[in-house]
A = this chain, B = another copy of it.
Amino acid sequence: MPYSTAPARTRRNDPGRRDRIIDACLDVIAESGVAGASHRRVAAAAGVPLGSMTYHFAGMDELLVEAFTRFARGVSDQFEQRMTAATDVDSARRAVADLITRDVFGSQRDLVLTHELYTLASREPAYRVITNAWMTRSRAALERHFDPVTAQMLDALIEGLTIHRALDTKPQDPALVRTAIERITALRSDTRT
């Protein structure tokens, strides 16, 4: 294996470069936070010269928006796929429980990135567009199996349980997650008004 596995691009022709920068940006954020994501650090992680940063992106904000848009889309895709795979209400409940108990944001990376995104969204409306699209898709996916109101409540419950499970240092009881899902999704006659 004498050469790099990459096809040794000439400098004029590297169509994937922009994408690689975005991916590297997410890696750096996961590692060092939005605060630590400088042009230089991202460039080094992506293996591109510093000048490429300003060439491909107008500023750090543009890069961040694109990076988090890609991240949210990826997580949404995965969630949607799971919900589509569920055939009935019970398997949907099980899929949701698995999502919370097993994935727990699929390792540290997704957890950190999600919180970084929420932090940005809590301050700047531009990022709220991303979180809103994410929430909308999650609810739509849940509505394949639950009524809209239940879907929205379940979406919030998933959020809270996932965060608390990820932050809690004590061991968790999976039964609690199942019970919570059952209570929220249980069909009842007294839905009020």
Q: Mark A163-189, 1 if CB is under 8 A from B, else 0.
A: 110111100000110111011101010
Closest residue to A116 on the B side, CB-wise? B119
How often does this chain occur in the complex, in copies?
2
A76 within 8 A of B: no
Choice from B118, B160, B183 contacting A115 with Cβ under 8 Å: B118
Are the C-beta atoms of A112 and B119 separated by less than 8 Å? yes
B-side contacts of A118, CB under 8 Å: 115, 118-119, 163, 167
Q: How far is the CA of A112 from the CA of B193 in the complex (A)?
A: 33
Residues A132-163 near B (CB distance < 8 A): 132, 135, 149, 152-153, 155-161, 163
Q: How many residues of chain A have a CB within 8 Å of chain B?
A: 48
A33 within 8 A of B: yes
Known: A115-B115, A159-B159, A159-B164. 6 other contacts (CB 8 A): A35-B35, A112-B123, A118-B119, A152-B176, A153-B183, A157-B184
Q: Can you spell out 16 A-B residue pairs with CB atoms less than 8 angstroms apart?
A: A34-B35, A111-B122, A112-B119, A116-B119, A122-B166, A125-B169, A128-B167, A131-B167, A153-B180, A156-B163, A159-B163, A160-B160, A160-B163, A179-B192, A182-B192, A184-B184
Interface residues of A (CB under 8 A from B): 33-35, 108, 111-112, 115-116, 118-119, 121-123, 125, 128, 131-132, 135, 149, 152-153, 155-161, 163-164, 166-169, 175-176, 178-180, 182-184, 186, 188, 190-193
